Chain A
Amino acid sequence: MSATRLEAWLCGAAALALVLLPLVAGRYPIYLAMQILILAVFALGFNLLFGYTGLLSFGQAGFFAVGAYVCALILLRVPSLLLGLVGGVAAAGVTALVLGALSVRHTRIYFSMLTLAFGMMLYSIALRWRDVTGGDDGLVGIPRAPLGPPGIPGPSLATIERYYYVVLVVALVAVVVMRRLVRSPLGLTLQGIRDSESRVAFTGVPVRVYRLAAFTIAGVYAGLAGALLPALENTVTPPIAHWSTSADPVLATLLGGIRAFWGPVLGAFLFFVIKDIIVRYTEYWLIWLGAIVVVLVLGFRGGVGAMLGTLLGRLTQPASGRAEGPR
């Protein structure tokens, strides 16, 4: 069995398990699975920027929060989840485009510091603009509105199981789109920019525009993940905009592996599973998660994804072709 076919089988099995989950699991595992899916979307966008384009952003929580707040504000006025999602994603995309235009003028640590600063600015807006964001109380009582556009009666999403399928479908579409994107000419060019910006510039590509495109797409993914949150939690509060939330996709991606396409998805899963297990024993779960990430980064730069990849490669055939995703 080739590595590609094995990958297809594993994806199919995982998707099937996710579809069947509400039939066998209780409310808590479903809630956990939704959190994993949301973080997976968040981290996938982050890794387009980090693993594929070589830009480490510490400000992704800002776009996550823009998606969440805008979606929440829409849901509080108009009972349409579709409108909330579209509005949240659009707002996050525009915010990323504007802040990205300023951030991608620099690379490396300067870029990271700029994104950190912009993220903190968005956080203070969430905290201080009380009339709109509700200040540190946040927005509460957000309804899990029906899916369809306003005026047209759509399926109700009142039960968590039904909303789970919305999150699942959105996440699967986000994964498929990203999968195509990284294997397209654009994806190859972004990886080229990561490896050698000057060499790409001297093939006639306006490098900064491409970095901005990657930044905006990452912002759209963060906004999409954020927009899925209000209907799940029924509240949106400033901590989701805090820079420590920006660390979630960073940690998830490092856990799963930045060199593999599936790294962020796998990492999102591990992030919540590890957290869920450790929290039972100690409230200082971040210390232990941090320790695990340190061990992985020091010992296995490719994260769990690369470890599994090596293992699967040995199982399938001696030389199972080249590795998937960014090299």
Chain B
Amino acid sequence: MPELLRVEGLAKHFGALRAVDGVDLVLPEGRRTALIGPNGAGKTTLINLVTGGLPPDAGRVFLRGAEITRLPVHRRVRLGLTRSFQIMNIFPRATTLENLLIPVLARLRRTHRPWAGLGTERAAVAEAEALLVELGLAGFRDLPAAALSHGDQRLLELGIAVASQPALCFLDEPSAGLNPIERGTVMELIRRLSESRRTTFVIVEHDMDVVFSLADWIVVMNRGRVLAEGPPAEIRAHPEVRETYLGEELEA
């Protein structure tokens, strides 16, 4: 599998707190990866550093061999890197279709057009509509996104992320706040999207059943460092991981 992302010695300190403390990581293309670890392990900070939300104090980030450490967010997205957010991040007042139209228009480099009506952007509208069907939200096309249920908003948020057709997409707790049924729907969608698209997903998730069933590879973080990484079976048996994180959950 060719290398997609490489992270070298990445670090970020907040005062005395070493949120990310020298992380080295290589993500190959097409390998569904789960990023796990206790709260405060540095998972979200790592995502912020890699995707450009935060500048790192040290270290370098490469996407397909090209250094992106200091690039602004939108340039990284254009190179094929995007993310979703732990806290719901959609466009609540726009319609469901328009929520997907923004990333599609952005990918087609048409968001700057001041004069064309949205209806005349046929290619973009068609693509957004197709994605709505894939998400199972076609029935809500013209409803404001705020009117959707929490679970459907999570699906929509996933849709916004994949509408950019990224090579690599970080999903920060994509099922946060969902009930088990909605959680299943979201996970099934992630599985389907990663099979139907050329997108490699990295998922931060706390539900270990989901992690072990969905991921091909697991990266365990603790106190800003990578504690262990490997295929699920290996991680499950890893003594240190069991001790610090999995603990009781797997004994049961």
Binding site for B on A (CB under 8 A): 180-181, 183-189, 191-192, 195-196, 198-207, 210, 213, 322, 326-327
Assembly CA distance A198 to B51 (angstroms): 11
B106, A203: Cβ atoms closer than 8 Å: yes
B74, A206: Cβ atoms closer than 8 Å: yes
A198, B118: Cβ atoms closer than 8 Å: no
Given contacts A189-B102, A198-B85, contact A203 B107 (CB under 8 A): yes
Q: Which 4 residue pairs spanning A and B have beta carbons closest together?
A: A204-B77, A327-B93, A203-B103, A203-B106
Chain B: how many interface residues by the 8 Å CB criterion?
41
Assembly CA distance A187 to B73 (angstroms): 21
Assembly CA distance A196 to B102 (angstroms): 12
Assembly CA distance A183 to B119 (angstroms): 9
Across the interface, name the chain A residue whose C-beta is closest to B113. A185
The number of residue pairs between A and B whose CB atoms lie closer than 8 Å in the complex comes to: 107
Asked if B89 lies at the interface with its beta carbon under 8 angstroms from chain A, I say: yes
User: Which B residues touch A186, using CB under 8 A?
Assistant: 111-114
User: Which B residues touch A189, using CB under 8 A?
Assistant: 102, 105-106, 111-112
User: Which B residues touch A198, using CB under 8 A?
Assistant: 53, 85, 89
- Give 26 pairs: A residue, B residue, CB < 8 Å, sorted on A: A180-B115, A181-B114, A181-B115, A184-B118, A185-B111, A185-B113, A186-B112, A188-B102, A189-B102, A189-B106, A191-B91, A191-B94, A195-B93, A196-B89, A199-B160, A202-B77, A202-B82, A203-B77, A203-B82, A203-B107, A203-B164, A204-B103, A204-B106, A205-B74, A206-B72, A322-B144
Assembly CA distance A207 to B74 (angstroms): 8
User: Which A residues touch B94, using CB under 8 A?
Assistant: 188, 191-192, 195, 327
Assembly CA distance A188 to B98 (angstroms): 8
Closest CB-CB distance, B52 to chain A, in whole Å?
8
User: Which A residues touch B82, using CB under 8 A?
Assistant: 202-204
User: Which B residues touch A181, using CB under 8 A?
Assistant: 114-115
Asked if B234 lies at the interface with its beta carbon under 8 angstroms from chain A, I say: no
User: Which A residues touch B93, using CB under 8 A?
Assistant: 191, 195, 326-327
A322, B102: Cβ atoms closer than 8 Å: no
